[in-house]
Every structure is written in structure tokens, then in C-alpha cells.
């Protein structure tokens, strides 16, 4: 979240000063020192206003995310309760079926063979799902590492560009008072 905020701040800063640098450089030669300072202050005020608006938007966004997250947590809690009830019902039914199975000893052999086949199928499907999950996890981790590397590359290039612009005198940096 902070990285996104810094990236947006850099983009806003670059956007604000990029289109006015050339016109300011030309107008600096023709205007007085006080006129130039007044223009710079006006631009700083405009930029500060944009930052306040951006900060308010970010706060609204964060609030909406926390609201959605709390709604999701409530839904998950209700799903957990439903699952617990279902487990209790299932356990009760399993107990009843166990009693019935003990009474049907003659058909136990054929049913146990079917059960073994179903269990074998379930185990093979479980292993397949587990393998797929591990592959997907590796793909996700690889993609995440690529995204982080790309973000670092872009950030460092942007930072290098800003440093080069500052050294060349194309970017004005005002000290904080």
C-alpha cells in the first residue's frame, strides 16, 4: 500500500513539474524574482491541494476495503456455523449407518470392495488435486517474484531518471522550511 502511495506521489510530482519546466525556464528569464516565487508558491499550493484530494481518496478506498473485509469475515463466520451443523448431522447419520452395516454382514464383502475402489479413486484424485495445487502455487510464486522484480526495475529507473533530471537542472528541488 505504501509502495503504491509512493509510486502515485512520484507520478503526480513528475506530472506536475514535467509540463511546466520548459515554460518556467523561458519565463524565468523574463519575469522578476518575486513573480517567479509567486508562481512557484501557487504551483506548490496546487500540488498540496492535489495531494490532499489524493489522500482523501486513499482514505475512502481503505475504508471501503475494511468494510468489505468485515462483511466477508461475517459471511465466513456464518459459513463456519453452517459447516459445524452439517458435520454434526453427518456424524449422527454415520452412526446410524454403522449400526445398519453391522446388521448386514452378508453383503459386507461386496460393499467393502466397492468402498475400496471408491477410496482408491478418491486418493488418486486427492493426489492429483494436491499436485495441481503445488504447481499453481509455484506458478503464483514465480509470477509474484516477476512482478516484484518488474516493480523494482521500474522504480529504480524512475528514480534514476529523477536523479538525472535533478543533476541536469531540469528538476527543481525546494528545501523544506
Confidence band for 26, pLDDT divided at 50, 70 and 90: low
Quote the domain boundaries for residue 53: 32-72
Domain-located, residue 122? no
Q: Can you tell me the distance from the alpha carbon of 140 to that of 138, in angstroms, rounded to the nearest whole number? A: 5
Number of domains into which the chain is organized: 1
pLDDT digits (tens, 9 = 90+) for 128-154: 999 999 999 999 999 999 999 999 999
Look at residue 149 in the predicted model and tell me its pLDDT. 93
Domain-located, residue 152? no
The mean pLDDT of 39-53, rounded to a whole number, is: 93
pLDDT digits (tens, 9 = 90+) for 68-105: 999 999 998 998 899 999 889 998 888 888 888 777 76
Supply the pTM of this predicted model: 0.30
The burial class, CB within 10 Å (0-12 / 13-18 / 19+), for 169 is: exposed
Q: Do residues 12 and 51 make contact, with C-beta atoms less than 8 angstroms apart?
A: yes
Domain-located, residue 41? yes
Amino acid at each position: 500500500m505504501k509502495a503504491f502511495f509512493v509510486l502515485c506521489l512520484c507520478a503526480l510530482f513528475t506530472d506536475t513539474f514535467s509540463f511546466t519546466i520548459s515554460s518556467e525556464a523561458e519565463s524565468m528569464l523574463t519575469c522578476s524574482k518575486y513573480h517567479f516565487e509567486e508562481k512557484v508558491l501557487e504551483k506548490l499550493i496546487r500540488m498540496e491541494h492535489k495531494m490532499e484530494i489524493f489522500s482523501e481518496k486513499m482514505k475512502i478506498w481503505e475504508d471501503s476495503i475494511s468494510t468489505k473485509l468485515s462483511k466477508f469475515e461475517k459471511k465466513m463466520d456464518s459459513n463456519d456455523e453452517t459447516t459445524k451443523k452439517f458435520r454434526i448431522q453427518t456424524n449422527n447419520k454415520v452412526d446410524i449407518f454403522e449400526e445398519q452395516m453391522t446388521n448386514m454382514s452378508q453383503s459386507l464383502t461386496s460393499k467393502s470392495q466397492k468402498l475400496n475402489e471408491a477410496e482408491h479413486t478418491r486418493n488418486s484424485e486427492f493426489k492429483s488435486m494436491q499436485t495441481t495445487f503445488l504447481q499453481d502455487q509455484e506458478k503464483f510464486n514465480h509470477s509474484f517474484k516477476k512482478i516484484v522484480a518488474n516493480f523494482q526495475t521500474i522504480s529504480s529507473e524512475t528514480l534514476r531518471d529523477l536523479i538525472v533530471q535533478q543533476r541536469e537542472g531540469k528538476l527543481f528541488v525546494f528545501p523544506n522550511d
